[in-house]
Structure formats: C-alpha cells, structure tokens
Structure 1
Amino acid sequence: MSRPKLLLVYEPEKACLDRLVADGHAPERAGEIASYLAQSTDLAHEFDALAAACLTRGLAFTPVALDDAPAVFAGEDPKTTLVWTLTDGIAYFRGGAAPALARLRGLKTIGADDSLFALCQDKFRSGAVLGGLGLPVPQAGLARNGNWLVEPPASPAGWFVKPNRLGAKIGIWPDSRCNDLGHALDLSRRVFAAYRDDVVVQPYVAGRNVRASFLGLVPDTGVEALGVAFVDSGADFQTMADSMALYGGTGEAAKAAGDYAEPDLLPVADSQPVADAKIRAIAERLMSGLGLRDVFSIDLRVEADDTVHLIEFEVCPGLPCFDFRAYCRQQWDASLADAMADTAVSRLA
C-alpha cells in the first residue's frame, strides 16, 4: 500500500488575477477580487512547516495548484489519499471544483461536500436555505445593475448592501449601509460596473461582529470545540478597503511598515454566555441540517440583549488568518501546521 498522503489544493492569487484581467476586468478591480486568495499566498510560506509536521506523523504532504489538480488526482490511491481544498469558489474563484474532482476520483476529502462549496458562494441562495432551516438569517432582496430581481423587506433601521458572490459580508464602500432603496439600487449599479455582480439587500441588523471557527481535529468533534469570539476592529462593518488592509496588498505594505493592526478577539462567553450558547446551537443545526463538518467558520452579529443574527457560513475559512491561528492555539494548543497535520492523520487513520 502506498504511503498516506495529504494533498492541499489551492488557487494561486496571481493565476486568478491574470484570468480576471484576461476576461476584461479592470486590473485594480481584478486585484481586489484576487486578494481574497491571499490565504493561498500566505500559506505557501508554511508549506515546509506543513510537510515537516506531516512527516513526523508518517504522512506525505503535497501542495497542488488548482489547475494541476486533475492530473495529480488521476495518479493517487483512493485508499491512502486525502484532499484538503483551501479555497472555495464558483464565480470569480474556482476552488469549488477541487472537492468535486476528488469525489469523481473516489478520493477522501476534508470539509463539507462539494454542493456546499457552491452554495456558500451565492449569498442569496444560501440565505434562502438557511432560512428554510429555521436559522436567524436576515431576509434579503436581490438587485442587478439597478433593477430588482427580488424586492427587499421593509426595514426601519435601513438596509445593508453587499455583493452576492464576492467577499460575502463586506459592503465594498462606507455607504453600503443606507436608508433609501433608491441608493441601494445605485449601489447595485456601482457593484455591477466594478465587479459584474448582483447585490444582496438585507435589513440592517445592529450588534457586534462575531466569528465562530471550527476544526474537527478528530472525527465526531462537536460544537464544544467551536471558538466563538467578538471581532472588534472599531468599524461597524468591513469595506473593501478594510479587507485589503487585512489580507491584500495594502496589508502587506502595512506589515512591512510596522503599521499592521489586527482586530481584537474577545470570547463571547466571557460577556454574553447566553449568546454564546445560541451560536453553538446554530452551529449544531448547520452541522446536522446543512452538512458542515471538519473545518468551517460562521459570521454573525450579536446584539446587547443576546439577539443573534446569522450572516454567513464559510466552508473554507482563512486558515492562515489571525483569527483561525488564534483559534488553533486556544482550542487545540497547536500551531496551524500541527493542527492541520493532526486533523489529516485522524481522517486517514
């Protein structure tokens, strides 16, 4: 029998950028879109550490660029090969193809099945599914280039406008929270012109931003291993500029200049244990009803009275990002490389 092997499939940031520019996207906008693959760029610096962590556990490690995956998968043994897909995507990004290709070849995978890789990238459709499961997700309208496809519900607090398939929860611009549906339609025109995307228009929900992270280091790990933290950046919501400052080119420049500042992570259970319990119940429902498993994250808003709003789920959380690294340290007392290697070994055991 061949040696057990972990294949980590990633979509390179540069490959995405080049493809988007070739498809006619303005270079600056293409750079913003491709910045969401910065985790692939960041994790590449740790491939040697991952290989060493796997080696000490009797496991081979091979990073695989997405375009090379079909040929690599064809030569692997389904009994001893595990595929971990680093990035999702069905529109601007293409990582959702990797788990489908793995299934086609009969290879084991880490994470949710490929249907959720597609669903999580379409926020309007995923919101409908989450609402059907009885989860507290805001209702949404959908607009394309200034025209309503689905009108949003009334909202005395105003609305929040975000791209449907890009960046999920970010608002792109500071005026993405608006009090006028005419302005929401104008934002949809701007998003369509810049990114060729529809917009989701949801009632604005108050509260603090929360990230719930999960890694099932061993099979059958439950929501007791969920890390639930307020993400306090000082802003009400994340814009494209904020995202670039954390993950994109401006973030790299800030790190080089010593000006990089990560948001504070504060355990929700310390100040709002009732909200923490609600979030764990939501995660349990997502695992049992939707099929999330192995590794995922959830973004929420929590009000002072413990009202919880589910914003989105991610099947490919940003593993090398500050929040997931902190989660691995606090929950599993492990570096990112060791946590990933232990998870892979447990699935191949």
Structure 2
Amino acid sequence: MARPRLVLIYEPEAACRTRLATQGFAGRQALEISSYLAQCTDLALEFDEIAHACAARGLDFMPVELDEASATLPRCDPGRSIVWTLSDGVAYFRGSAGPALARLNGLPTIGADDSLFALCQDKFRSGAVLQPLDLPVPPSGLARDGIWLVEPPASAAGWFVKPNRLGAKIGIWPDSRCQNLDHALELSRRVFSAYRDDVVVQPYVEGRNVRASFLGLTAETGVEALGVAFVHSGGDFQTMEDSLALYGDTGASAKAQGSYAEPELTSVADSQPFADERIRRIADRLMQALGLRDVFSLDFRVEEDDTVHLIEFEICPGLPCFDFRAYCRSQWRLSLADAMAETAANRLLR
C-alpha cells in the first residue's frame, strides 16, 4: 500500500510573469507583481529537505505546480492524502484554485477554508468583513484611477495608500504615506497605470510593525502557540523595493553580494505584554469567527499605549521567509521542513 502523502500546490513566479506578459503588463511591473510568489521560488530549493523530513515520518512528499493540479489531484487517495496550498489569489495570482480543487476531489487540506483564499487578497472587502466582528481595523476609502469609489474618513495624521490586491502593508513608493487626499488620488492613478489595481486609503496609524505567526502542529493547537514579534526593518513601512530585496531571485542575489539585511525580530510580550494579550484575543476571534486555522499570519501596528491596529490577515504566510522560520525555531524547536512534515504527519497519521 502506498504511504500517506503531503501534496504541496505552488504557483511559480515564472509562470505568473509569463501570464502577466500576455495580458500586456510591462516587464518591470510583471516582475514586481510576480515577486509576491517569491516564497514558492525560495521553498522549491528545499523540496528535497521537505521530502526527507516527510519520509522520516512515514510520508511521501509531492510538490505540484498549480497548472498541473487539476490533472494530479483526481489521482490522489482522499483517505491517504492531504493538500497544502502555498499561495492565495483571485486576481494576479490563482492559488485559491488549490483548496477549491482539493474540495472538488474530496481531499482534506491544511489551511483555512477555501473561501478565505479569495477574500484575504481583496483588502477592502476583507476589511468590510472584519469590522462587524468588532476588530480594530482602520476604516478605508477606495479609489480607482483618481476617482473615489468610497471616500476615506478624515485624518489629522494623514493617510496611507496601498494597492487593494497586492498586499496590505506595502505602500509601493516612499510617498505612500501622504498628507492630503489630492496626493492620495494621484497615487491611485499611478497604481492603476502600473498595476491596474484600486487603492485602499486608510488613516495613517502610529506604532511599530508586528507580525503574528501561527502553525498548528497538531489539530488541537490553539492561540497559545501564536508567535508575536515586533519587526524592526529600519523603515516606517515596507515599499516594493524593500520587499524585492528580501525574497526570491533578488533576495538571493543580495545574499550572494553580501548586501542582504534581514529585519530584526523581538518579542512583543517582553516589552508590551498587554498588547501581546490583545493580539492573542484578536487571533482567537479570527479563528473562532472567521475560520482561520492550521497556518496563517497577522500584521498589526502597535502603539506605545498598547493600542493595537489589525492591518491584515494572511492565510498563506511566507513559509520560507525569515519571520516564519524564526517562529518555527522559537515555538516548535523545528526547522521549516520538519515543522511542515510534522504538521502533515499529525493530520494524516494520528
């Protein structure tokens, strides 16, 4: 009898760039957009290590490119297979097809319900869902190519402008924090011209950036396993250039040249325990009410008085990124490969 199997579905950067080029995106913008899939590029370098970690636990490991998933999944045994999808997306990316295909073929999955794979990429809609749950999400306006679809609220501290479907933290350019709404509309024109996307315009919130990471090593793992850390990157927010320098081919080149600079992580609980507790309550609320489970990350801004702002939830966190690796080491005392294999084995074998 065949061994139980972990099936990992991933969308390669190159396939995304090719598709964007056929849709008429300029080369630079196609590169920037596809860079959000850099975790697929980075993790592919560790497939052998993941296979070895799975084998040590009695599992087979089968990485499957997204475009091959529709042909591959029907051949998997629902009683001896589990599917882990590495990326989300309904706009530039198509990862949300992974859990949907698994459900179509009766296969269990690691990760959130497939409906959340579509919701989390649309930041305006996800914010509209989170607000009725009484979560501390900044209110948002929405603009498209210089026209307000929803006007943002007033803000004495100015506003933060970001693409609606490319990432909730990234402001693309250094001037993405702006002091007047005319500038916000100008940024929306630039985003629409480059990326064909709307922009979310939110009141700027003070504080430091926080990443909360979660991996449910067992099905019973709860919010106590959440890792909550300040991310010290040297800047107030991440731009596209900052993101490109950390991951994928650009990040690998920076490492080879000795110019790679990884942000520093420090425990929130060590200096602001009340904020840490608030973040854990928010995570528990999201797990209970929204259906986050198994693996996810949350991004926050935390002020000195412990005020917490929820910026985004991510159901496909960057597994090979510095922060999630650090979480696996600190919380589970495992490498990324072993943590992934252990999670799959606990679902399939125990």
TM over 0.5, shorter chain: yes
Structure 2 partner of 1:72? 72
8 A contact 1:191–1:198 mirrored in 2: yes
* Pairwise CA distance, 1:248: 4.4
Residue 264 of structure 1 aligns with an amino acid whose one-letter code is: E
8 A contact 1:16–1:93 mirrored in 2: yes
8 A contact 1:172–1:240 mirrored in 2: yes
Distance 2:167 2:251 in 1: 16
Structure 2 partner of 1:223? 223
Distance 1:153 1:223 in 2: 33
1:99 matched to 2:92: no
8 A contact 1:136–1:309 mirrored in 2: yes
1:333 matched to 2:333: yes
Residue 235 of structure 1 aligns with an amino acid whose one-letter code is: G
TM-score calculated relative to the size of structure 1: 0.99
Residue 314 of structure 2 aligns with an amino acid whose one-letter code is: E
Residue 183 of structure 1 aligns with an amino acid whose one-letter code is: H
Q: State how 1:174-189 maps to structure 2 within 5 Å.
A: 174-189=174-189
Q: Secondary structure at the match of 2:313?
A: strand
TM-score calculated relative to the size of structure 2: 0.99
* Pairwise CA distance, 1:3: 2.0
Q: Using the aligned pairs only, state the percent identity.
A: 74
* Pairwise CA distance, 1:51: 0.5
Distance 2:248 2:342 in 1: 29
Distance 2:60 2:249 in 1: 32
Deviations 1:264-322 (A, max 9, x none): 00000000000000000000000001000000000000000000000000000000000
8 A contact 2:41–2:248 mirrored in 1: no
8 A contact 2:216–2:343 mirrored in 1: yes
Structure 2 partner of 1:89? 89
Q: Secondary structure at the match of 1:343?
A: helix
8 A contact 1:32–1:248 mirrored in 2: no
1:282 matched to 2:249: no
* Pairwise CA distance, 1:252: 2.4
Gaps of 5+ in 1: none
Distance 1:327 1:249 in 2: 23
Q: Secondary structure at the match of 2:246?
A: helix
* Pairwise CA distance, 1:254: 1.2
Residue 298 of structure 1 aligns with an amino acid whose one-letter code is: L
Q: State how 1:264-303 maps to structure 2 within 5 Å.
A: 264-303=264-303
1:22 matched to 2:8: no
Deviations 1:41-91 (A, max 9, x none): 110111001101101111010000000001100111111110000011110
Residue 242 of structure 2 aligns with an amino acid whose one-letter code is: D
Distance 2:20 2:147 in 1: 25
Residue 226 of structure 2 aligns with an amino acid whose one-letter code is: L
Distance 2:121 2:5 in 1: 29
Q: Secondary structure at the match of 2:52?
A: helix
Deviations 1:199-255 (A, max 9, x none): 000000000000000000001211110000000011000000111111244322211
Q: Secondary structure at the match of 2:3?
A: coil
Structure 2 partner of 1:111? 111
Distance 1:2 1:35 in 2: 36
Q: Secondary structure at the match of 1:246?
A: coil
Q: Secondary structure at the match of 2:287?
A: helix
Count of residues paired in the alignment: 349
Distance 1:283 1:337 in 2: 25
Distance 1:40 1:193 in 2: 27
Q: Secondary structure at the match of 1:299?
A: strand
Q: State how 1:1-349 maps to structure 2 within 5 Å.
A: 2-349=2-349
Q: Secondary structure at the match of 2:261?
A: coil
8 A contact 1:209–1:231 mirrored in 2: yes
* Pairwise CA distance, 1:2: 3.7
Distance 1:223 1:105 in 2: 30
Distance 2:339 2:129 in 1: 31
Distance 1:14 1:167 in 2: 20
Distance 2:251 2:73 in 1: 34
